[in-house]
Copies of this chain bind each other. A is one copy, B any other.
Amino acid sequence: MRVTIRDVATRAGVSVATVSRVFNDSGPVHEETRRRIREAARELRYAPNSAARSLSTRRTSTLGVLLPDLHGEFFSEIIRGIDLTAQRRHHHLIVSSSHNHRSEVAAALRAMRGRVDGLILMSPAVDAETLVAELPVPDTLRVVLLNCAVRDPRFDGLEIDNIGGARAVVEHLTGCGHRRVAMILGPARNHDADERRRGYRAALRAAGLEPRPEWEHSGDFTDAAGYQAAAALLRLVPRPTAIVAANDAMAIGALSAVREAGLRVPEDMAVVGFDDVPIARYVHPPLTTVRVGIGELGARAAETLLEALAEGEAHRPRHVVVPTTLVVRDSCGCRDRSPPASLA
């Protein structure tokens, strides 16, 4: 038999209202009564039932997190960022991952109804626009959109400066003399991937180079895809002198492919990534990449959501673009911005 607030009340010789007041620190309770109640609760090992509490207060103290099919360190870092912030503010996290299609997201969202106070939704598919528009979101549910190609005035939004980051790293390469810069793209119809490509193209044009279709090879953000794509790019004639991967995992796969082809990085081929996952500095050669601050991104998403929740009706959604920074290491071969010997 479960122990309820009523059992505690009986044992302490008070009413349930008083017990509730003690546990929620609401309303005045005599010090001596308070002590008796705490004691009774401890003896009975009482813990309030949160379903009942949620039903009554219409709050769950829980945040929902809906993620696409993320892998590796990006996934763990973002969850950690969110979780740490949520914990600090005494909130729980319901995580649901691997949602790629709109129907899946909609279903997951329905299932979360009543379980969460707010939602962090990361849906980098480019068709997110319609998803968001049709989102079966009761107006009681706060939503923060993460990396969505959408600016819906109903929701807060948080986005990475993908275009700026990609421009920066590509400009770094062209600035060092690279003329044949290839790119391993992210998944088709992915917002981040799309923007990173736009940044890449913009940077090429800014350097007076025309983007060429054969220099852009598809990928899907996995190490394996990076490996495959790089292998294909190496067969081009003339061969590119630099490969920009749309994320670090693919860059690492590319490093592997380049080496297997008997070429050296960065002497024969520069390779750069995007994200700056923790491991990036420990691969060989240490990866030049674009730092995103993934954990911080998650933390900010959680903070935004908690803030919105606290503000209630008064909240005015905002849209924030989080800046990125270029991190130059060795894999581009131009740490000091001087062209590598092979290009001189």
Contacts and interface: CB of A to CB of B under 8 A. Distances in A.
Contacts of A110: 47
A121 to B, nearest CB: 16
Contacts of A249: 279
Complex copy number for this chain: 2
A253 B227 contact: no
A92 B94 contact: yes
A278 B253 CA distance: 11
Given A80-B97, A92-B96, A94-B62, A256 B284 contact: yes
A282 B223 contact: yes
Contacts of A60: 51
Given A97-B83, A278-B223, A50 B113 contact: yes
A71 interface: yes
Nearest to A110: B47
Interface in A249-264: 249, 252-253, 255-256, 259
Interface string A267-282: 0000000000011011
A52 interface: yes
A223 B51 CA distance: 41
Contacts of A47: 110, 113-114, 136, 138
Interface string A289-319: 0000000000000000000000000000000
A54 interface: yes
B76 A95 contact: no
Given A48-B114, A83-B96, 18 more contacts: A2-B140, A47-B136, A50-B113, A50-B114, A51-B54, A51-B55, A51-B114, A70-B76, A72-B72, A72-B73, A72-B76, A75-B80, A79-B97, A83-B95, A93-B95, A227-B282, A256-B281, A256-B284
